[in-house]
Structures are given as C-alpha cells and as structure tokens.
Amino acid sequence: MFETLDQVAEDIAKSLSEAASNRRSPMHTPVVGTADADVRIMVLRAFDRKCWTCRLHTDARSPKCEAIGKGAPVGLLFHDPDAKIQIRTKGIGRIETQGPVADAAWEAASNYARRCYLAQGAPGTLSEEATSGLPAVVEGIKPDDEQLVPARENFAVLLVELHTLDWLWLAHNGHRRARFTGGPGEWAGRWVVP
C-alpha cells in the first residue's frame, strides 16, 4: 500500500488537505505544541499544499500567541485511528492579527465563530465563577455585525510553515515510518525504523 516515499509524501499532503476541508476528518483537530512545552487542540482551517503552510485561528490575547509571536517553533500532531496513521509535523509558526490573510479569514468566519473573540478578558484569565467570558448580551445568540466590531482586534491567525514531517503507519505485517526534512520545495524523505 505504501511502498515508496513518494506515496507517503502524497498521503501526508492529501491527509492534511482533507483535514482542513472536512470537519469530520479525524485530523481536523490536531494537537498544537509550542516551545514552552504546552499543548492544546486547535481546528485546522486551511492547508496550503504548495508552501506546506497550515492556518489556524485563535485569540490574539491567548498565551500561545505570546509564546509564538512573529516566529517560533510549533509542532502539529495529527492522528487517524481508523487509517492507523500518525503524522507529526514541526515548523515555524507566526501570529498575524493584521494583513490580507487575517482579514480574509475574518471575512470568511461566521458570526457564531466570531463571537468567541468578544470574550472579556484573555483566554486563561481567572474568574470567580464559571463563565464563557462573553458579555451577557451576546450569550446564546448570534451577534450581528455591529456587535462584532470589537471582536476583530482579538482575532489572529496562526500560520505554520512545515519543515519536518514524520509519518507512522501501524500495520499488522510490520509498521512503516518515514521522515521528510528540508521544507517546501526541498523535501528529502528517508525510511525510518518505527
């Protein structure tokens, strides 16, 4: 099934494309690791196969944005239990709050999705009571465009350009593992003992 490194590279690219476009894909919600040893689940919003860049959305005030800033190592871990495939990736991440990519992502988001960015206080802020952090007036409703104006400044995209891919396939007849290094346009693949 996976006999060549080219087949593996194609599987990785197809899996990440599918993960971004299909919310039912098990790889739609990768684990995202930062250099401060913290990990969290995020939704993969887009994968640009040409430049091997993943786009995710987040609150600009969240601790991960502080950790990543304009450029820092980021790991993305994907798992498809039915296919028995794990894809570990590493790259350089950057946070953008302004510019064409962030603007387009904001424009494409639904008002429900945008509502998250109305939270009063940064993600992780301590509270005396259980809270969504949202102003009471938008709790449980779809805010209109005017109500969402203050949310825009809290919205950020996380862009991760992948430089290392580590693919593992668990198979009865013997597991298979391959690693690709070098980054977009210069991938060099090697088989690896699983």
Ligand X SMILES: Cc1cc2nc3c(=O)[nH]c(=O)nc-3n(C[C@H](O)[C@H](O)[C@H](O)COP(=O)(O)O)c2cc1C
Give residues in contact with ligand X (CB under 6 A). Answer: 29, 38, 40-43, 56-59, 62-64, 123-124
Which residues are CB-contacts of 24 (< 8 A; sequence separation ≥ 6)? none
Rounded-to-integer distance, Cα 84 and Cα 109, Å: 32
Helices marked H in 23-93:
63-68
C-beta closer to ligand X: residue 64 or 114: 64
Work out how close the CB of 162 gets to ligand X at its nearest, in angstroms, rounded to a whole number: 18
Which residues are CB-contacts of 186 (< 8 A; sequence separation ≥ 6)? none
C-beta closer to ligand X: residue 63 or 184: 63
Work out how close the CB of 102 gets to ligand X at its nearest, in angstroms, rounded to a whole number: 14
Number of neighbours of residue 192 by Cβ within 10 angstroms: 12
CA atoms within 13 A on the CB side of 40: 16
Work out how close the CB of 155 gets to ligand X at its nearest, in angstroms, rounded to a whole number: 10
C-beta closer to ligand X: residue 73 or 123: 123
Number of neighbours of residue 10 by Cβ within 10 angstroms: 12
At 10, is the secondary structure helix, strand, or coil?
helix
Q: Contact, 73 vs 93, CB < 8 A? A: yes
φ/ψ (deg, to 5) at 82: -70, -45
C-beta closer to ligand X: residue 124 or 182: 124
C-beta closer to ligand X: residue 37 or 193: 37
